[in-house]
Amino acid sequence: MRFNWTDNVVMRAIGKIGDLICLNVLWLICCIPVITIGASTTALYTVMLRLVRNEEGYIFRGFFKAFKLNFKQSTIIWIILLLLGIVWTVDFRVAGMIPGTAGIVLSAIFMALGFMLLAVTVYIFPLTARYENGIKDTFRNALILAVAKLPYTFVMAAVIVVAVIASLWSTVTLMFALPLWLLIGGALIAWIHSYLLRRVFVIFEGSESAAEEENKG
């Protein structure tokens, strides 16, 4: 009996790693103009959500198709998030300059708001990739998921925060982390998120299935 190397776990793992590297390079290149970060991230999740469901497809073709299809909405969402992030950063720094109890309370409030902004950001691009909704509904759904699936929200936010802090911890860690970010970092985070999002999105897909059954009845 011949051993089929194409079915070997190691070969499949190598194939997955190759897919992640290709996606990471595509994502980084398409993020370079900065204004396209939203569309590039949506395209990344479009392909990644299919990969974790073991749906076959062409990575390059799928990425650029999603990039073009979601460009307008993703760009508007990215600009809104960027502006909110700038406002939050300024307010957080101002709160930190206020002495006494008032400064501590305001800093705590802005820390909570910063977490919610990060949580919405974690969900909003995968939602744009997975579902056809308007910008307002997408923001609303991202906020709903951030609260309704809080344990998942904490894990996905922690993945980003820990990765960034570990990378910037020192000059040595940055030297090791930078090549990893350029090679596979962003795609690896999206891959981890996508596995978790398969369970998170049940909250919507379950209601859609119920609605379809009701219509059939």
Q: What is the pLDDT of residue 10?
A: 66
Q: What is the pLDDT of residue 214?
A: 38
- N-to-C CA span, the chain: 52
Cβ pair 160, 122 in contact under 8 A: yes
Cβ pair 43, 67 in contact under 8 A: yes
4 located within any domain: no
Q: Which residues, 6 or more positions from 36, have their beta carbon under 8 angstroms from its beta carbon?
A: 30, 67, 71, 75
For 175, the domain range is 9-216
Q: What is the pLDDT of residue 26?
A: 94
1 located within any domain: no
Q: How many CA atoms lie within 13 A of 98 on its CB side?
A: 14
Q: How far, in Å, CA of 216 to CA of 212, rounded?
A: 6
Nearest to 43 by CA among 122, 127, 129: 129
Q: Residue 196 corresponds to which amino acid?
A: L
54 located within any domain: yes
Q: What is the pLDDT of residue 206?
A: 58
211 located within any domain: yes
Q: What is the pLDDT of residue 199?
A: 86
> Which residue positions in the chain have pLDDT lower than 70?
1-11, 56-57, 203-217
pLDDT tens digits along 124-152: 999 999 998 999 999 999 999 999 999 99
Q: What is the pLDDT of residue 7?
A: 56
2 located within any domain: no
Domain count, the chain: 1
